[in-house]
A = this chain, B = another copy of it.
Amino acid sequence: MSALTPVMSAATINEYLNKVFPQLNNGHQDYEALEIFPGGCTVRLNACERHIRPGGTVSGPALFALADIGGYVCVLSHVGPDALSVTTNLNINFMRKAEPGPIDGKCRILKLGRSLMVYDIEIVAGPEQHIVAHATGTYSIPPKRNFDVVK
Protein backbone atom coordinates (compact mmCIF):
# COMPACT_ATOMS: atom_id res chain seq x y z
CA MET A 1 0.00 0.00 0.00
CA SER A 2 3.02 2.24 0.43
CA ALA A 3 2.90 2.91 -3.31
CA LEU A 4 -0.25 4.98 -2.87
CA THR A 5 0.15 8.71 -2.42
CA PRO A 6 -2.62 11.06 -1.31
CA VAL A 7 -3.24 14.10 -3.51
CA MET A 8 -5.64 16.00 -1.24
CA SER A 9 -5.55 16.86 2.47
CA ALA A 10 -8.36 16.27 4.97
CA ALA A 11 -9.11 20.02 5.16
CA THR A 12 -9.35 20.35 1.37
CA ILE A 13 -11.62 17.32 1.19
CA ASN A 14 -13.97 18.66 3.86
CA GLU A 15 -14.26 21.93 1.93
CA TYR A 16 -14.83 20.02 -1.28
CA LEU A 17 -17.54 17.82 0.32
CA ASN A 18 -19.38 20.87 1.63
CA LYS A 19 -19.37 22.33 -1.88
CA VAL A 20 -20.30 19.33 -4.03
CA PHE A 21 -22.33 17.31 -1.52
CA PRO A 22 -24.17 19.76 0.79
CA GLN A 23 -26.84 17.12 1.55
CA LEU A 24 -24.26 15.09 3.46
CA ASN A 25 -24.06 17.47 6.37
CA ASN A 26 -26.97 19.76 5.67
CA GLY A 27 -25.48 22.67 7.60
CA HIS A 28 -24.21 20.53 10.46
CA GLN A 29 -20.74 19.04 10.87
CA ASP A 30 -21.88 15.43 11.16
CA TYR A 31 -19.48 13.72 8.79
CA GLU A 32 -15.89 14.82 8.28
CA ALA A 33 -12.51 13.60 7.09
CA LEU A 34 -10.09 13.54 10.04
CA GLU A 35 -6.90 12.30 8.47
CA ILE A 36 -5.58 11.19 5.11
CA PHE A 37 -2.57 8.88 4.90
CA PRO A 38 -0.97 6.80 2.14
CA GLY A 39 -3.42 4.01 1.33
CA GLY A 40 -6.28 5.15 3.53
CA CYS A 41 -8.03 7.70 5.70
CA THR A 42 -9.94 8.21 8.93
CA VAL A 43 -13.43 9.68 8.81
CA ARG A 44 -15.68 10.70 11.70
CA LEU A 45 -19.38 10.81 12.47
CA ASN A 46 -20.24 13.20 15.27
CA ALA A 47 -23.33 11.23 16.26
CA CYS A 48 -26.11 13.01 18.10
CA GLU A 49 -29.87 12.83 18.66
CA ARG A 50 -30.48 13.06 14.92
CA HIS A 51 -28.65 9.77 14.32
CA ILE A 52 -30.28 7.47 16.85
CA ARG A 53 -32.79 4.68 16.40
CA PRO A 54 -35.14 2.85 18.77
CA GLY A 55 -33.12 1.86 21.82
CA GLY A 56 -31.13 5.10 21.82
CA THR A 57 -28.19 3.81 19.82
CA VAL A 58 -26.76 5.11 16.54
CA SER A 59 -28.80 3.90 13.56
CA GLY A 60 -27.64 1.54 10.83
CA PRO A 61 -28.12 4.12 8.05
CA ALA A 62 -25.98 6.65 9.99
CA LEU A 63 -23.16 4.09 10.25
CA PHE A 64 -23.63 3.02 6.64
CA ALA A 65 -23.27 6.66 5.59
CA LEU A 66 -19.97 6.81 7.49
CA ALA A 67 -18.75 3.64 5.75
CA ASP A 68 -19.83 5.04 2.39
CA ILE A 69 -18.25 8.45 2.91
CA GLY A 70 -15.05 6.74 4.06
CA GLY A 71 -14.72 5.11 0.66
CA TYR A 72 -15.56 8.38 -1.07
CA VAL A 73 -12.81 10.15 0.88
CA CYS A 74 -10.39 7.34 -0.06
CA VAL A 75 -11.13 7.90 -3.76
CA LEU A 76 -11.07 11.69 -3.57
CA SER A 77 -7.84 11.77 -1.57
CA HIS A 78 -5.98 9.25 -3.72
CA VAL A 79 -7.40 9.85 -7.20
CA GLY A 80 -8.35 13.52 -7.10
CA PRO A 81 -11.44 15.69 -6.80
CA ASP A 82 -13.86 13.91 -9.11
CA ALA A 83 -17.20 13.96 -7.35
CA LEU A 84 -18.77 11.44 -9.72
CA SER A 85 -17.25 8.24 -8.37
CA VAL A 86 -20.05 6.02 -7.11
CA THR A 87 -20.43 3.06 -4.77
CA THR A 88 -21.24 -0.16 -6.60
CA ASN A 89 -21.24 -2.54 -3.63
CA LEU A 90 -21.12 -2.21 0.13
CA ASN A 91 -21.34 -4.97 2.71
CA ILE A 92 -21.64 -4.00 6.36
CA ASN A 93 -21.72 -5.99 9.60
CA PHE A 94 -23.09 -4.34 12.71
CA MET A 95 -21.48 -5.83 15.80
CA ARG A 96 -22.07 -3.66 18.83
CA LYS A 97 -24.34 -0.78 19.72
CA ALA A 98 -22.82 2.68 19.54
CA GLU A 99 -23.84 5.57 21.78
CA PRO A 100 -24.01 9.14 20.46
CA GLY A 101 -20.58 10.82 20.37
CA PRO A 102 -17.61 10.67 18.00
CA ILE A 103 -17.53 7.51 15.90
CA ASP A 104 -14.42 6.93 13.80
CA GLY A 105 -14.04 4.94 10.61
CA LYS A 106 -10.56 3.70 9.77
CA CYS A 107 -10.40 3.07 6.04
CA ARG A 108 -7.86 1.10 4.11
CA ILE A 109 -7.63 0.86 0.33
CA LEU A 110 -7.37 -2.84 -0.54
CA LYS A 111 -7.05 -2.24 -4.29
CA LEU A 112 -6.93 0.87 -6.40
CA GLY A 113 -7.36 -0.02 -10.06
CA ARG A 114 -8.11 2.20 -13.03
CA SER A 115 -11.86 1.84 -12.78
CA LEU A 116 -12.54 0.29 -9.36
CA MET A 117 -11.37 0.85 -5.81
CA VAL A 118 -11.95 -1.76 -3.09
CA TYR A 119 -11.61 -0.75 0.55
CA ASP A 120 -12.57 -1.77 4.03
CA ILE A 121 -13.47 0.29 7.07
CA GLU A 122 -13.39 -0.54 10.74
CA ILE A 123 -15.81 1.61 12.72
CA VAL A 124 -14.91 2.15 16.38
CA ALA A 125 -16.62 4.07 19.18
CA GLY A 126 -16.74 4.66 22.90
CA PRO A 127 -14.05 5.03 25.54
CA GLU A 128 -12.60 1.62 24.72
CA GLN A 129 -12.79 2.14 20.96
CA HIS A 130 -14.64 -1.14 20.44
CA ILE A 131 -15.41 -2.19 16.87
CA VAL A 132 -19.09 -1.38 16.38
CA ALA A 133 -19.26 -2.14 12.66
CA HIS A 134 -17.08 -3.28 9.79
CA ALA A 135 -17.69 -2.76 6.09
CA THR A 136 -16.14 -3.59 2.74
CA GLY A 137 -17.02 -1.66 -0.38
CA THR A 138 -16.27 -0.95 -4.01
CA TYR A 139 -16.30 2.40 -5.77
CA SER A 140 -16.49 2.79 -9.51
CA ILE A 141 -14.17 5.54 -10.76
CA PRO A 142 -15.33 7.33 -13.93
CA PRO A 143 -13.06 6.67 -16.93
CA LYS A 144 -12.53 10.31 -17.84
CA ARG A 145 -11.92 12.46 -14.85
CA ASN A 146 -13.34 15.85 -15.53
CA PHE A 147 -12.32 17.70 -12.41
CA ASP A 148 -14.42 20.70 -13.40
CA VAL A 149 -17.68 18.88 -13.84
CA VAL A 150 -19.04 19.63 -10.37
CA LYS A 151 -18.35 23.10 -9.10
Residues of chain A at the chain B interface (Cβ within 8 Å) = 20-21, 23-24, 26, 49-55, 59-61, 64-65, 68, 83-84, 86-97, 110-111, 115-116, 118, 120, 131, 134, 136, 138, 150
Q: Which residue of B lies closest to A115 (CB)?
A: B115
Q: Which residues of B contact A87 (CB under 8 A)?
A: 60, 94
A62–chain B nearest beta-carbon distance, Å: 8
A117–chain B nearest beta-carbon distance, Å: 10
Q: Is the CB of A54 within 8 A of B91?
A: no
**Copies of this chain present:** 4
Q: Is the CB of B84 within 8 A of A89?
A: no
Q: Is the CB of B23 within 8 A of A52?
A: yes
Q: Is the CB of A91 within 8 A of B89?
A: yes
**Bound CA span A120–B89, Å:** 13
